[in-house]
Amino acid sequence: MKEIGLHGRGGQGIVFSGEILANVYFFEGYRVLFMPSYGAERRGSPSNAYVRIDKQKIYARYAVSVPDAVVVFNMSLLSNIKLKEDGIALLNTTEDIKKSSSSKARIFVVDANSIATKLKLGTPAMPIINTALLGAFCKAMGDFSFDNLKRAIEEKMGSRAGINIQAAEMAYEAVREL
Amino acid sequence: MKRISRDEILKPNHLACPGCGAALAMRLALKALGRKTIVVIPACCWTIINGTWGFNYAGVPVFHTAFETTAAVASGIKATLEMQGKNDITVMGWAGDGGTFDIGLQALSGAAERNDDIIYVCYDNEAYMNTGIQRSSATPVGAATTTTPPPFYKNRPKKDIMEIVEAHDVPYIASATVAYPQDLVKKFEKAKSIRGFKFLHLFIPCPPGHKFPESKSIQVAKLAVETGVFPLYEIKHGTYKLTRKPRFVDVKEYLLLQGRFKHLSEEEIEGIRREIRKRWDKLERMFGAFG
Amino acid sequence: MKTLVVGGNDAIAYAVSKSQVDVVSAYPITPQTSIIEKIAGFIAAGQMHAKFIKVESEHSAMAACIGASAAGGRVFTATSAQGLLLMHEVLHWAAGANLPIVMANANRALAPPWSIWAEQTDSLSQRDTGWIQLYASNSQEAYDLVFLAFRTAEESLVPAMVCMDGFLLTHTKEPITMFDDEIEPFISKRTPRDILDVSNPKAFGSLAFPKDYMPVKIKQHKGMLKALDIFEEVAGQFNEISDRSYSSICQYGDGTDVAIVTMGSIAETAHLAVDRLNNEGIKSRLVKITMFRPFPKKRLAEALKGVEHVVVFDRNISHGKGGIIKDEVTGALGLTNSIGFVCGLGGYDVTEEDMIKSVKGVLEGTIKEDTILWSEA
């Protein structure tokens, strides 16, 4: 079983991206459980969602504590995020991050904000970065096909799918591993 | 002269007290509405009047329900009938003043706000009579009840239920009483012909509760109207219409007939006169506004 | 049939939209809201033909259901926690009036303090109201139980609530297999009953003297007991069109060292505990309760026969006594070998690790009494 955490702030589309991701893995033939984390949310407060995937039925009905992979929408939350030692992290950032040599984790970075802004997704103050991040995540994880991501975006977004798929494609190309 | 149906839907031998205005009101209401009527009755005198287990004196289907739920249950019944295409069946909530002014007010407000297609009747004997004459917010100023025994008789004014319902913008609101049966029947027929939420406020004389001899029920109800204590009027989509102009007989005549007012001093009676005038000043402006 | 990744609440709404419901009357409360929002959406889109009475409180929600059902309609509502409590009086009314209303309850902890997370005290504290109580351990069950609830309720004339853990099931999305037309013959079956009928005017619920009241209540109780068998029968018919099986009690494994008894989504987690215990040589089984009311005494006794230790996990609490499931199971079966763990209150997580530790404590004899699973650490 694999556990994936999506971390950001309210309004960034965390829950929506989690739903798409759950569908992507479902199309890949996995069993999935998508669990948004609820509390006293509002715009700007931390928002988390988790996806569990497995080839067999998933029985764990409690929160994910240490995921195998995380997507970090907003770097200000980094200190609160847990990740397995050898996990995969995708960070939305323009910062020049250096990875510690002792770290067994695989770190990927992409500037999803500028991709979204370039495509006029959302506003410059609140760009819609979730689909871009999913595109980058596809490259980083390597366990689901871009075609299935496309399908999930199309099924969930209808007329808005086109431009979001573009964002995913751009991020897929732009993402790099540290 | 209004012709009232001869069909006696309310069956004899019901369990009302002798002289009960509520039984007479139901008898007249059913004559107006006919047998294709379903009645919702919360906890109130009519819970008993209709008969105990195995009896149904109303003669139409009756659903006894929890005290505060009349309007909600009626709305529910109507919803199913509408889904079944049975649009010729009237659903009537028949609640006392307690179940309307007090504990039932929320559900009433909800149904009125939704404009649910029901007739809500508040048969108002001005106290919780079924449980032994305790005060409700419909009890008039000056009345003695078991929870407002003199000198601590009810001293807060009666809620203006007509205005409360009017604040919900519903198609038809009317007051009536058993002393004027043709007027009452006409108003029920009018309500039946309108789609949407209809509210009827009935003044109900109650011999044991108001403390007068059983034979005087009609006289008491008549005086309630003729003194101006209980105005008979309609509000149709916000337009106020007086349906019977009172002679403004002195209220003392009305008060003296009832034991619940016997402790009142001259000053207190004068206070009641003032309140009647105040109310009618307001009402007359409303009637006048609509010609 | 199709399998889609949907949330538990959505699944309920889909099931209701396929159940030929006439009237829905509901009031919003977290975490039920998306059920009624989706239903409203279906009705607006013409996919569901029902009247939705947007009542002004849960008390009125159930009252309106009562009216609608009494007039012969198939009726649905949904609520949670505080809303369910507000309905308490009228829950009794619905059951006493033999009205086959179906309600979904999102199990949520009771205030104060305010909580929106999973706990079963809300519905379990209504266990005396005369309602059938079904508990889903995952969202596929929640979906299926709606159909089973309508049929069982109507054939037994007992209202039924389908309970599902708040957020853990209501908001978690998972693949759920949903019907197209296959469900129609099953759900179209209607059982005739006494309704408000102008051509046959009767009074419902009049004042009954003791000699009349008692037989009515005895009939109500017996009717509820019959629902045990009716549920199994209906589940059998459901199995023919779905290949999914349901029963009041579901047993996984046949180990005799220990049986874990529980209800709701923690039963899924318990599945993991049982697997691990068995791998370690501790012969265990999971006894999952799907129908809590009427109480499936016989089936439960069979499922626990020959088991040395019975360990019950209660995601609820009856203050001053303890876990409700443990209490009822022990009392009904006269057990002397049961220990209960109150856990997960207010949505606090319960993992298979917690369960395994608890079971081992019982087996090793270090835990000899009912315990509350809570660590200050």
Domain residue extents for chain A? 2-177
pLDDT score for B152:
87
Band (B291; pLDDT cuts 50, 70, 90):
low
Contact between residue A97 and residue A107 where contact means Cβ atoms under 8 Å apart: yes
pLDDT score for B3:
86
pLDDT score for C209:
95
Top CATH class, C2-242: alpha beta
Instruction: Give the residues across from B201 on adjacent strands.
Output: B122, B175
Cα–Cα distance between C170 and C10 in angstroms, integer?
Answer: 8
Name residues of chain C where pLDDT drops below 50: none
Domain ranges for chain B: 21-289
Boundaries of CATH 3.40.50.920 in chain C? 250-372
Chains that touch B (3 or more CB pairs under 8 A): C
What tokens does C243 get?
A: 């290949």
Q: Which of residues 25-84 of A touch C (CB under 8 A)?
A: 26, 31-36, 38, 58-63
Contact between residue B94 and residue B41 where contact means Cβ atoms under 8 Å apart: yes
Cα–Cα distance between B130 and B142 in angstroms, integer?
Answer: 21
Contact state of A60 with C172 under an 8 Å Cβ cutoff: no
Contact state of C60 with B110 under an 8 Å Cβ cutoff: yes
Mutation target among C21, C87, C196 for the B interface, most CBs of B within 10 A: C196
Top pLDDT among B46 and A42 is at B46
Interface pTM (ipTM) of the complex? 0.87
C-alpha triplet B28, B205, B232: angle, nearest 5°: 65
Statement: residue A46 has pLDDT above 90:
no
Question: How near does any CA of chain C get to the CA of A108, in Å?
Answer: 27
Contact between residue C231 and residue C250 where contact means Cβ atoms under 8 Å apart: no
Q: Which of B58, B68, B83 sits opposite C51 (nearest CB)?
A: B83
Looking at the domain B21-289, which fold is it? Answer: Rossmann fold (3.40.50)
Question: How near does any CA of chain A get to the CA of C265, in Å?
Answer: 6
The pTM assigned to this predicted structure is: 0.89
Rg (CA), chain B: 18
What tokens does B186 get?
A: 């006409």
Contact between residue B93 and residue C43 where contact means Cβ atoms under 8 Å apart: no
Statement: residue A43 has pLDDT above 70:
no
Question: How near does any CA of chain C get to the CA of B47, in Å?
Answer: 7
pLDDT in tens, A125-141: 889 999 999 999 999 99
Mutation target among C55, C59, C92 for the B interface, most CBs of B within 10 A: C55
pLDDT score for A42:
65
Band (B76; pLDDT cuts 50, 70, 90):
very high
Question: How near does any CA of chain C get to the CA of B251, in Å?
Answer: 39
Chains B and A touch (3+ CB pairs under 8 A): no
Contact state of C5 with A32 under an 8 Å Cβ cutoff: yes
Interface size, chain B vs chain C, as Cβ–Cβ contacts under 8 Å: 168
Q: Is residue A29 helix, strand or coil?
A: coil
Q: Which of A35, A38, A61 sits opposite C269 (nearest CB)?
A: A61
pLDDT in tens, B189-218: 999 999 999 999 999 999 999 999 999 999
Chains that touch A (3 or more CB pairs under 8 A): C
pLDDT in tens, B84-124: 999 999 999 999 999 999 999 999 999 999 999 999 999 99
Looking at the domain A2-177, which fold is it? Answer: Pyruvate-ferredoxin Oxidoreductase; domain 3 (3.40.920)
Instruction: Please give the order of strands across the beta sheet that includes C203-204.
Output: B239-244, B232-236, B172-177, B198-203, B119-124, B90-96, B37-41, B62-64, C203-204
Contact state of B63 with C207 under an 8 Å Cβ cutoff: no
Contact state of B83 with C63 under an 8 Å Cβ cutoff: no
Torsion, Cα of C202, C205, C207, C212 (10° steps): 90
Band (B131; pLDDT cuts 50, 70, 90):
confident
Top CATH class, C250-372: alpha beta
The rounded Cα A92 to chain-centroid distance in angstroms is 9
pLDDT score for B129:
93
pLDDT average, residue stretch A93-113: 92
pLDDT score for A171:
97
B246 touches C at CB < 8 Å: no
Q: Is residue A124 helix, strand or coil?
A: coil
Q: Which of residues 21-40 of B touch C (CB under 8 A)?
A: 35-38, 40
Contact state of C66 with B76 under an 8 Å Cβ cutoff: yes
Q: Which of C173, C174, C269 sits opposite A62 (nearest CB)?
A: C269
Statement: residue A39 has pLDDT above 70:
no
CA distances from B81 to A101, B36, B38, C146, C196 (A): 74, 12, 11, 24, 10
Contacts of C204 in chain B (CB under 8 A): 61-64
pLDDT average, residue stretch A14-33: 96
pLDDT average, residue stretch B23-27: 98
Instruction: Give the residues across from C260 on adjacent strands.
Output: C286, C311
Statement: residue A41 has pLDDT above 70:
no
Parallel/antiparallel/unpaired status of strands C309-314 and C75-80:
unpaired
pLDDT score for A124:
83
Contact state of C68 with B48 under an 8 Å Cβ cutoff: no
How many other C-beta atoms lie within 10 A of the C-beta of residue C270? 29
pLDDT score for C114:
87
Contact state of A34 with C165 under an 8 Å Cβ cutoff: no
Boundaries of CATH 3.40.50.970 in chain C? 2-242
